[in-house]
Amino acid sequence: MNTLVYNMARSGFITMPYPEKDCSGSVVVVTGANSGLGREASRHFVRLGAAKVILGCRNLDKGEEAKKDIEETTGKSGIVEVWQLDMASFESVREFAARVDKLDRLDILVDNASLLIFTREMIEGHESTLTVNVISTFLLTMLVLPIMRRTATKFNLIPHIVVVSSDAATASPLPERESENIFKALDAKTDVLERYNVSKMMQVMITAKLAEAVDASGKGHIIVNCLHPGFCGTQLFRRFPFPFNLIFKLLTALFARTAEMGSRTLLVAAFAGDDTHGRFMFDAKLHEPPRIMQGDEGEKLTQRVWDELVEILEGIVPGVTNNI
């Protein structure tokens, strides 16, 4: 916890590299793109010349407002598109992915959408944080792998999948690891205060295993990485209960980096090389994985989380993991 507080306090005092890479011709999908990191990252992609930037948004009105804002600030129109995507609905994820699959190409997927709540709610048969941050995130990712591979072959490039995680991934001891099934134990638990941290830890674990699986498939290379964007002044913390909401407002005012500054870390990951494949990035640099993933026991735990997720995804869309 002390490390988390230290990292939070230093975020606002570190400047991230300004994105400069030419994105001409690229098609980019950003989830959770109507505000915060997603909107600012999308703005950068447009500024850098992307041919199409798709904002995956649950609220289309807010998505259209984000589109207008991006067009006005970049002076570029006809690039941003707003598509319906509700990460709390597996059907919505499938419909969104089916639309993406009809595109000519997909160069970059930024899995940015996240949920942080403090009350237990079951959605699609699972605790809501797990549904949005883990299951739907990687369901979408696996559903769009075929078009990313076609893009790699047709345009002779390496597509990127970027998962926006958090240093909160390092903060959970995951006592549910002692259970026969980790996801089921988490779904049954009524205390969800640690759930966001757990979901972010799972994202780092699954990113590592997905990268291994992509390589092992021999179907073509895609760089998969994940990152901590720093402590940013976004709407992620809007559901904090009193008095924590007031505390975080103060911390945000004192220490947070802007959403624009934080979004630069997403661009760094989206343009990064093979050295980031399957890895966790922190402040735009490679970082060791959470301690819970390290060593023989950590590897076994990571494999368990991966195997359980694969079983869940196959239950939603049979055969989806064959896309790997």
- What pLDDT is stored for residue 246 in this prediction? 58
How much is the pLDDT for 194?
85
Relative to beta strand 52-57, strand 27-31 is parallel
The pLDDT value recorded for residue 154 is 98
Q: What is the pLDDT of residue 99?
A: 99
CATH topology assigned to domain 2-13+20-319: Rossmann fold (3.40.50)
Tokens of 177: 């690891």
Give me the pLDDT at residue 278, please: 98
The catalytic site residues sit at: 165, 196, 200
pLDDT of residue 165: 96
pLDDT below 70 — which residues of the chain?
Answer: 1-13, 232-256
Q: Per residue in 33-67, is it b (16+ CB within 10 Å) or e — as a string?
A: bbbbbbbbbbbbbbbbebbbbbbbbbeeebbebbb
Q: Specify the residue for token string 């595109």.
A: 103
pLDDT for the residue numbered 172: 81
Q: What is the pLDDT of residue 94?
A: 99
Q: Which of 222, 202, 203 is nearest to 212 (CA)?
A: 222
For the chain, the structural domain boundaries read 2-13+20-319
